[in-house]
Amino acid sequence: MTGAELVLKVLQQHGIKHIFGYPGGAIMPIYDALYDSDVEHFLCRHEQGAAFSAIGYARSTGKVGVCMATSGPGATNLVTGLADAMMDSVPVVAITGQVFSSLIGTDAFQEMDVLGMSLSITKQSFLVQSLDELADILHQAFEVAQSGRPGPVLVDIPKDIQVGSVDFEPYPIAQKQVPDFDAQVLADAQALIKAANKPLFYIGGGVGMADAIDEMQDLLAKTKIPAISTLKALGTVPADYPYNLGLVGMHGNQAANHAVQDCDLLICTGARFDDRVTGKLDTFAPNAKVIHLDIDPAEISKLRQADISILADFKKLLPELAVTTEISPWQQQVAELKTQYAWRYDYPGDSIYAPKLLNLLSQKLPFDHAVSCDVGQHQMWVAQHMLFSSPRNHLSSGGAGTMGFGLPAAIGVQVARPDCMSVVVSGDGSFMMNVQELGTIRRFKLPVKIVLLDNQRLGMVKQWQELFFEERYSETNLSDNPDFVTLAKAFDIPALTISQDDQIEDGINQLINTDGPFLLHVQIDDKENVWPLVPPGKANHDMLEGEKV
Ligand X SMILES: Cc1ncc(C[n+]2csc(CCOP(=O)(O)OP(=O)(O)O)c2C)c(N)n1
Q: List interacting residues with Mg ion (CB under 5 A).
A: 427-429, 455, 457, 459
- When asked if residue 227 is in the footprint of other proteins (CB under 8 A), the reply is no
| Candidates 201-209, 274-282, 458-466, 501-509; binding stretch for ligand X (CB under 6 A) | 458-466
Among 61, 101, 110, 124, contact with other proteins (rule: CB under 8 A): 124
127 binds, among Mg ion, ligand X, other proteins, none (CB under 5 to 8 A by kind): other proteins
Q: CA separation (Å) from 64 to 74, 150, 157?
A: 21, 9, 19
Q: Is 486 helix (H, G, I), strand (E, B) or coil?
A: helix
- 309 versus 377: smaller Cβ distance to ligand X: 377
Encoded amino acid at 355, one letter = P
231 binds, among ligand X, Mg ion, other proteins, none (CB under 5 to 8 A by kind): none
Site size toward ligand X, by CB under 6 A? 19
Interface of this chain with other proteins, residues 299 to 358, rule: CB under 8 A: 300-302
374 binds, among Mg ion, other proteins, ligand X, none (CB under 5 to 8 A by kind): ligand X
Q: How, if at all, do strands 394-395 and 92-98 pair?
A: unpaired
- 124 versus 333: smaller Cβ distance to other proteins: 124
Q: CA separation (Å) from 45 to 53, 98, 165, 372, 443?
A: 11, 20, 31, 19, 10
- 177 versus 500: smaller Cβ distance to other proteins: 177
14 binds, among ligand X, other proteins, Mg ion, none (CB under 5 to 8 A by kind): none
Closest CB 159 distance from ligand X, rounded Å? 32
270 binds, among ligand X, Mg ion, other proteins, none (CB under 5 to 8 A by kind): none
Among 19, 75, 115, 493, contact with other proteins (rule: CB under 8 A): 115
Interface of this chain with ligand X, residues 402 to 431, rule: CB under 6 A: 402-403, 427-430
Closest CB 377 distance from Mg ion, rounded Å? 7
Is residue 263 within 8 Å of 288, Cβ to Cβ? yes
54 binds, among other proteins, Mg ion, ligand X, none (CB under 5 to 8 A by kind): none
- 152 versus 429: smaller Cβ distance to ligand X: 429
Closest CB 495 distance from Mg ion, rounded Å? 17
Residue 445, Cβ density class (10 Å: 0-12 exposed, 13-18 middle, ≥19 buried): exposed
CA 246/CA 370 separation, integer angstroms: 18
- 223 versus 455: smaller Cβ distance to ligand X: 455
CA 320/CA 392 separation, integer angstroms: 25
Q: Which residues of 116-154 are buried (b: 16+ CB within 10 A; e: fewer)?
A: ebbeebbbbbbbbeebeebbebbbbbbbbbbbbbbbbbb
Among 279, 408, 459, 507, contact with ligand X (rule: CB under 6 A): 459
> Using alpha carbons only, how large is the chain's radius of gyration in Å?
24
224 binds, among ligand X, other proteins, Mg ion, none (CB under 5 to 8 A by kind): none
Interface of this chain with ligand X, residues 33 to 72, rule: CB under 6 A: none
User: Residue 131: beta bridge partners?
Assistant: none
Among 296, 320, 466, 525, contact with other proteins (rule: CB under 8 A): 296
Among 9, 123, 251, 356, contact with other proteins (rule: CB under 8 A): 123
Please report the sign of the dihedral spanned by the C-alpha atoms of residue 354, residue 359, residue 364, residue 365.
positive
User: Residue 373: beta bridge partners?
Assistant: 425
Q: CA separation (Å) from 259 to 30, 57, 105, 245, 277?
A: 54, 35, 56, 8, 13
Provide the mask over 77-116, with x wherever binding to ligand X is found by CB under 6 A and - wherever it is not.
----------------------------------------
402 binds, among other proteins, ligand X, Mg ion, none (CB under 5 to 8 A by kind): ligand X
Q: How, if at all, do strands 265-269 and 18-21 pair?
A: unpaired
Provide the mask over 336-375, with x wherever binding to ligand X is found by CB under 6 A and - wherever it is not.
--------------------------------------xx
Annotate 305-337 with DSSP letters as a single string. --SEEEE--HHHHGGGG------HHHHHHHHHH
Active centre residues (catalytic): 47, 109-110, 159, 460
- When asked if residue 399 is in the footprint of ligand X (CB under 6 A), the reply is no
| Candidates 199-207, 240-248, 290-298, 386-394; binding stretch for other proteins (CB under 8 A) | 290-298
Is residue 507 within 8 Å of 471, Cβ to Cβ? no
Q: Which residues of 231-269 are buried (b: 16+ CB within 10 A; e: fewer)?
A: bbbbbbbbeeeebbbbbbbbbbbbbbbbbbbbbebbbbb
- 2 versus 396: smaller Cβ distance to ligand X: 396
- 22 versus 381: smaller Cβ distance to Mg ion: 381
Tell me how many degrees the CA angle 108-109-111 measures, rounded to the nearest 5.
65
What is the SS3 string spanning 238-278? CCCCCCEEEECCCCCCHHHHHHHHHCCEEEEECCCCCHHHH
Residue 486, Cβ density class (10 Å: 0-12 exposed, 13-18 middle, ≥19 buried): exposed
Q: Name the site residues for ligand X (rule: CB under 6 A).
A: 374-378, 401-403, 427-430, 453, 455, 457-461
- Contacting residues toward other proteins, per CB under 8 A: 115-116, 119-120, 123-124, 126-127, 129, 140, 144, 148, 296-298, 300-302
